[in-house]
Each structure stands twice: as C-alpha cells, then as structure tokens.
Structure 1
Amino acid sequence: MRHSHHLTPEQRTRNSWGSMHDRCYSANTANFEHYGGRGIIVCPRWHRNNPLGYYNFVADMGLRPEGMTLDRKNGDGNYEPSNCQWATKSTQASTQRHCTTGARPKLTRDEIREIYVSEERQVDLAARFGVSCGSIERIWKDKGHTEHTHDLMRPLKRRK
C-alpha cells in the first residue's frame, strides 16, 4: 500500500503479511515471477492457512515499524523467521538479487543467442555473462519483437 505512513503499525503489519502471501501464491500479483514463480513460499507457521499464522508472524517479527518493509535476508530463501527482518529500503536494496558483476563492453552474437534460448534463471545468466539482470531482461523482452533480435537469431554465415 502506498501511503503506509497514515496506517497504524497493526495495519502496516497486516498489509505486509498479506502482500507476502500474494507475492508467493497469486499469479496475478505484480512481481509474482520473482517470488512464487521461483518457488519462494511462506513457512507453515506464518501461512494464511494456519489459523494462528498472522499472530505467529507478529510474535516472530513484531509490528512493522514505520519506514520499514519486510525483507528476506537471503533473496533465494523462503519467508520464515530465520530469513526475514524489517528493513529500510536502502538495506533491502543491498539484499536483493543483484547481478551486475562489472562493466563489460558488449555481448557477442553467440552469447545473445544463448541467452535468448536459455531456460536458466536471469540471475544465473547475468553472473555467467558478467552483465546486469537488466541486460538479460532486455534480451528476453525483445524476443521476437525487434528486427535486431531476429537478425541475431539467424545463423551466422560461415566464412571460407
């Protein structure tokens, strides 16, 4: 929810708890692919199917402080007591799945082809090729939508 500074700590906490479930279990939710789509789940202790799930969440996490958001310490881990904390946006940014491994001038045509057809996770491809997740995402978004991408997918002519 956007204007959380007008909410009580109880309301902020309940919103965070509900949003955590939506990210993991509702394919219609923005960014589902980064959570539930990757297999991230909510632990049984906090799960909404558990009648005490919300109360267990509050017992483990406390009420959400103003200016803080729910953060997973390990971005590949589940929502569970040992992996969650209330964090500022700047702290949370430092635990996100960053992919940039340094400046790199340009991917080769063969590398772009490989990324284009790969079923590897974005973060793994970025690490392997030394580029940002944004670069991988742009290649995937361009699949079949630009003349440039189509040219990259044509076989290279062999020189004799």
Structure 2
Amino acid sequence: MSNTPAYKHPLYVTWRMMRRRCQTPNSDGYESYGGRGITVCDRWSNDFWTFVEDVSPKPGPEYTLDRRNNDGNYCPENCRWATREEQAANRRDTVRVTLNGEERCLTAWALIFGVRQQTVEKRMREQGMGALGALYLPVGRCGARKRKLDPIVAEIAAFYAA
C-alpha cells in the first residue's frame, strides 16, 4: 500500500473505469462488458492496491489495459498492457488467419503479403474468396506494381494456392 491516496494514483482511473464498464449497467460500455458477462475478479474489484501490485509498472503512457481473451474476465492471468495497435488486433471482430501453423490478424498478413487490408476484405466479402486466396491474388491489373514476397511467405502462399 502507498501513502498516496488511491484517487491520486496514475492507475486509479484505469481501475475505476474497468470496474464501471463491468459493474454499472447505466455506464457507457456496459453492454460490451458487464452485459456480456465480463467481470472483474474479486482480487481487483475489492482492492485497488492489489490491482496496482498486479499490473505495475505501466510501460508507458501509450499503453492501456487489455484482456488477452476478449471473452475472459479482468484478472491477472488475462490482462496485459497493450498499445493501440495491439488492442486493434485483439478485438472481437478481428479476423484471425492461420498460415503454416502461425496465427495472425488479417491486417498483419496483409502487410506481410503487401496487399491493402481493404482489398483483402473486399475480395473475401464480395467475391467469396478465402483469406489465403484474397491475400495471394496479385494486386491490380493495369500496370500495378508487382509485389515482392518474402521467400518463405511466397512458398507458403504457392502451396495453399495450388
């Protein structure tokens, strides 16, 4: 415990908002958290200083508290500090794709394959392609630049395209 009042601690707002989203039905975000059955473990819900002990130190101001499993509760085993980019890849609606035993979000694979994410999503949505076909299909027709794939990625893509 600290001599600092809890409300002055830099993690107090994080703790308070986490509890509010899960425990207060009329708060913003409740339907996406408490309304879905997401809870805060007793260890954290009942003791701010225990929460601080479990999650400190916060790596930097650009990090926010993230649940590894979006359907899981707020507890030491399921929480981490993450950047906006990491959190964006860990949303419920994020498309996850496994290639050669490696799972990544569709955005990460699009970057690796050199295709815009929007192009991949459009191919999947409008043309009914699977993720691999949408990633591997060459981009553009009229003089679009050829993309160079990492040799390992090219081998994986060729295998799945065959």
**TM-score range, shorter-chain basis?**
0.5 to 0.7
Task: Establish whether residue 59 from structure 1 lines up as the match of residue 48 from structure 2.
Answer: no
> Normalization by structure 2: what TM-score?
0.52
- Give CA deviations for 1:92-139 in whole Å, capped at 9, x if unaligned: 111111255853239xxxxxxxxxxxxxxxxxxxxxxxxxxxxxxxxx
SS at match of 1:18: helix
- Mapped partners of 1:56, 1:21: distance in 2: 14
Q: Which amino acid aligns with 1:30?
A: D
- Equivalent of 2:125 in 99, 104, 109: 104
Specify the structure having the higher radius of gyration (Cα): 2
Residue 44 of structure 1 aligns with which residue? Answer: 42
- Mapped partners of 1:74, 1:100: distance in 2: 14
- Mapped partners of 2:81, 2:95: distance in 1: 25
> Normalization by structure 1: what TM-score?
0.53
Q: Which amino acid aligns with 2:83?
A: T
How many residues of Structure 1 are paired with residues of Structure 2 in the alignment?
93
Asked whether the equivalents of residues 71 and 84 of structure 1 are also in contact (C-alpha less than 8 Å), the reply is: yes
Residue 21 of structure 2 aligns with which residue? Answer: 23
Larger relative contact order (Cα-Cα within 8 Å, sequence gap ≥ 6): 1
Give RMSD over aligned pairs: 2.0
- List alignment gaps of at least 5 residues for structure 2: 1-7, 97-120, 128-162
Q: CA deviation at 1:12?
A: 3.4
Asked whether the equivalents of residues 73 and 84 of structure 1 are also in contact (C-alpha less than 8 Å), the reply is: yes
Q: CA deviation at 1:63?
A: 3.9
Residue 4 of structure 1 aligns with which residue? Answer: none
Shift of the 89–99 alpha-carbon distance from structure 1 to 2, 3 Å rule, reads closer
- Mapped partners of 1:67, 1:73: distance in 2: 17
- Equivalent of 1:84 in 79, 83, 108: 79
Asked whether the equivalents of residues 13 and 63 of structure 1 are also in contact (C-alpha less than 8 Å), the reply is: no
Q: Which amino acid aligns with 2:126?
A: P
Moved segments of 4+, more than 3 Å: 99-102
Shift of the 99–86 alpha-carbon distance from structure 1 to 2, 3 Å rule, reads closer
- List alignment gaps of at least 5 residues for structure 1: 1-9, 107-160
